[in-house]
């Protein structure tokens, strides 16, 4: 590829909203290829070992990643990158944790995924029951003051729950006669939203008050509404896409959008899209075909709606029954020093025969 071509490709990349962007490009050729391979193999080993579900194929990949690191680790010693406490080069790999990596695959075979033994819970508990209470002390005799702080905090919390529960019970008894003729509802979703139910008082003890929005469920249950066309929530392969009911720009001409976002072929793209699918629009979200229409092609409409953000959601790779949290893709038109605007980059599979994530980057 060469240095100039690599620098050019990085220079045309748009900045990512909310993440660090290296405007001075990246260093090319500063490290030997064998050194990069060793570091990459070690990173692959760590990521694969933390998978929530590990199959025999994944175990084989873990073995291969560790073996690849061992095959190229000598380069790190030769370059003097392995250093000690006094920044002196070391000529050995006497690291206990490195030897422990050899037992990762046998341990997975014996006890299952290692992620279930994570220390994140205990580390978080250390913050909640040690560090935070310690800040409320006078920095003397930490142990008794922390214990007293936690004891009083628990008493206040229990007192609050008891008083709330007592208030709810009084409300229920007062309205008991008026609700005799109503049908009983035992739906869990209604229980979470009903603050007059005694069990709802303790909801915050065992989970988050804010539930994860499942866009897949909204699409499958037809929650878009019969009059909402095109739908605000739809599926594109294995990805759920959601648009707000109210667009960022409710009404704007196509030419103004093309000028604002530097999209000179926008009108031609609309023309090809409409001619290919026809007025019925059976499939609203197919794309990837070559451009054929002229830039000044006539259209049956002049104005469009514009959204500056879109939410996407996917399911867990290892367990499709688990829905992941939503991600927001932001866009902003060109302004000031951002000549080409600012937006997040997203890759979509345009080949109907490929299915992300099993197909990888094929068909993107």
The CA distances from residue 152 to 13, 148, 155, 267, in Å, are 55, 6, 5, 67
Question: β-strands 249-253, 342-343: how paired?
Answer: unpaired
d(CA 333, CA 343): 8
Alpha helices in the chain (DSSP H): 3-11, 33-49, 56-78, 96-100, 104-111, 120-126, 132-135, 142-174, 188-193, 203-206, 215-220, 254-260, 266-277
d(CA 146, CA 125): 14
Reported confidence tier of residue 187, pLDDT bands at 50, 70, 90: very low
Give me 322's structure tokens: 């688990």
Domain boundaries, the chain: 31-117, 119-153, 215-343
pTM listed for this prediction: 0.51
Write down the mean pLDDT value for the chain. Answer: 77
Contacts 24+ apart (CB under 8 A), 126-129: none
Those residues with Cβ within 8 angstroms of residue 362's Cβ, 6 or more apart along the chain or in another chain:
349, 351, 354
Indicate the range of 56-70, 132-146, 212-226, 299-313 predicted with least confidence: 212-226
Helix (H) or strand (E) segment spanning residue 29: none
Do 172 and 156 contact (CB within 8 A), yes or no?
Answer: no
Tell me what pLDDT residue 352 has: 66
Indicate the range of 178-187, 209-218, 269-278, 308-317 predicted with least confidence: 178-187
């Amino acid at each position: 590829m060469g240095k100039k071509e690599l620098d050019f490709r990085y220079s045309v990349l748009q900045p990512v909203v909310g993440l660090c962007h290296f405007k001075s490009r990246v260093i090319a050729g500063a490290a030997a290829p064998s050194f990069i391979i060793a570091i990459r193999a070690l990173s692959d080993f760590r990521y694969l070992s933390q998978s929530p579900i590990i199959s025999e194929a994944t175990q084989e990949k873990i073995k291969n990643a560790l073996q690849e690191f061992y095959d190229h680790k000598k380069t790190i010693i030769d370059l003097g990158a392995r250093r000690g406490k006094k920044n002196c080069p070391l000529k050995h790999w006497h690291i206990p944790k490195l030897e422990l990596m050899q037992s990762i695959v046998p341990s997975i075979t014996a006890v299952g995924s290692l992620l279930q033994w994570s220390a994140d819970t205990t580390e978080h508990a250390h913050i909640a029951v040690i560090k935070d209470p310690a800040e409320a002390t006078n920095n003397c005799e930490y142990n008794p003051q922390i214990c007293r702080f936690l004891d009083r905090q628990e008493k206040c919390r229990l007192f609050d729950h008891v008083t709330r529960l007592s208030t709810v019970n009084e409300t229920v008894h007062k309205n008991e006669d008026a609700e005799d003729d109503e049908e009983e509802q035992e739906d869990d979703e209604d229980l979470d939203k009903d603050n007059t139910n005694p069990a709802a008082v303790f909801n915050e003890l065992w989970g988050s008050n804010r539930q994860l929005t499942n866009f897949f469920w909204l699409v499958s249950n037809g929650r878009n509404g019969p009059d909402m066309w095109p739908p605000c929530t739809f599926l594109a392969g294995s990805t759920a896409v959601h648009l707000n009911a109210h667009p960022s720009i409710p009404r704007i001409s196509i030419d103004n959008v093309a000028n604002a976002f530097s999209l000179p072929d926008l009108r031609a793209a609309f023309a090809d899209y409409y001619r290919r699918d026809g007025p019925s629009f059976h499939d609203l979200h197919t794309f990837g075909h070559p451009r054929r229409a002229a830039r000044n092609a006539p259209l049956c409409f002049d104005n469009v709606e514009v959204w500056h953000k879109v939410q996407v959601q996917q399911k867990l790779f290892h367990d499709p029954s688990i829905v992941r949290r939503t991600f927001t893709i932001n866009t902003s038109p060109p302004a000031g020093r951002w000549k080409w605007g600012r937006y997040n980059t997203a890759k979509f599979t345009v080949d109907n025969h490929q299915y992300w994530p099993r197909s990888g980057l094929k068909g993107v």
